[in-house]
Amino acid sequence: MILCTPDPVAHLASLNVKTINEGFGHHSSNVVVGGAGYFTAPGSTSTTGDACSVGFTAYTPTGGPAVISAGHCTNLFQNKEVWLTLPSGDSAYTGNLRGPVEPYAVLGTYGFSRFGSPSDGIGSETKSSIDISVVNVTNNALTLEPFVTNWSTAGQNNLSLAGTHITALGEAQVGRPISKSGRSSGLTGASAVTYVDGWANVSGHIVYGFGVEGLKSIPGDSGGAMFQGTTAVGVVSGGAAATLTSPSFVWGSDLSNALQYTGGYTLRLALSAPVMTSFANHAQINGGATISGTAPAGSKVVVTPSGHAAFSATTNSQGVWSFAAPQTPQTYTFGVHTENGFNKSSVTTYSLTVAGPAAPVT
């Protein structure tokens, strides 16, 4: 059933342009993170347009750079350039909701976008009725991080200095705290997710997702990151009336569901490197002994022995990986790193000495 009909107050913020700086100045960062603001105008010479928020950084189906936001943020601008906005000029920092934004660097152009259903745009009570967009990043000077800003460093115009690393993609959990980050109200939180696995009528479009009571979100926060702990769960789709100081009801577009319809866009994740737990580093072991450890569940652990071909070990549902030690006595050095799609962790190097074959069982 339709759980609610949020007002469109968490949607686009129509704003004026303050200035446009070509390239990067000393005052701006080239690191793109979740929660940052962006601006789209109907033409290259326009002085007005709409502002939304980055949800999360991502990969295109071929591994290129992309960011995820809300589908309704594309409005009529699917083929237009998207610009990052200067954090110190956004209302999350200034508190001036209707103040002009300052675009400072091209981000890219819209790729996939859907608000409602693929057929009529209105949608129905099916999981294909979503609110998601992706921006294909075309600016090679930008670095994308799997990170969501808390807006505490907006005055330094570098949103990557403080916030949360995103380590997983998941579904919103009822009763667990949730946070949101966006260009208008910054980082806000609620004590618990209220509803999941439902639909809302957002400005005449049906959107599958989840609802949160008591979470502040205002115009311009659309598309912003919604996350529980270090797990990405959604992007801001709509919400009931709110101000800069009062909370609201926010509807989130379910991210893990919506990504399935984008043709292969995937989330950037901050993967932790594998940890060997079966033996201490530099330990002496028997040939054929089981070498095991932990890594993020559902990921692949790539093992690169010095002087030998690399191979992989898959983690189980608890994140445990293992492989057998060689039989030949000698010291073996090997690196291990985690992979999940296009995401890769740093490499950790271990060394073990095989003293001889395992003693026969009698």
Whether 4 has a pLDDT exceeding 60, the answer reads no
- Region 177-194: mean pLDDT is 95
Instruction: List all residues 6 or more positions away from 144 whose beta carbon is below 8 Å from its beta carbon.
Output: 31, 32, 33, 57, 58, 65, 67, 137, 268
Angstrom distance (rounded) from CA 103 to CA 83: 6
Helix (H) or strand (E) holding 158: none
Residues 6+ positions from 6 with CB-CB distance below 8 Å? 200, 201, 202, 237, 238, 239, 240, 249, 250, 251
Q: Which tens digit of pLDDT belongs to each residue from 98-138?
A: 778 888 899 999 989 999 988 777 888 899 999 999 999 99
pLDDT > 70 fraction of the chain, expressed in percent and rounded: 85
Q: Which of 361, 61, 77, 37 is nearest to 220 (CA)?
A: 37
Pairing of strands 231-239, 143-149: unpaired
Give the model confidence (pLDDT) of 227-264 as tens digits.
999 999 999 998 875 455 555 889 999 999 999 999 99
pTM to 2 decimals?
Answer: 0.87
Q: What tokens were used for 171?
A: 């579904």
Map tokens 């028997």 to a residue: 286
pLDDT tens column, 256-307: 999 999 999 999 999 999 999 999 999 999 999 999 999 988 899 999 999 8
Residues 355, 350: Cα–Cα separation, whole Å = 16
Average pLDDT of the residues of the chain: 87
The residue-averaged pLDDT of 338-347 equals 95
Beta strands in 274-329 (DSSP E): 275-276, 284-287, 290-294, 300-305, 311-314, 320-324
CA–CA gap between residue 344 and residue 341 (Å, rounded): 8
Q: What is the pLDDT of residue 15?
A: 52
pLDDT for the residue 46: 61
Token digits of residue 59: 């990969």
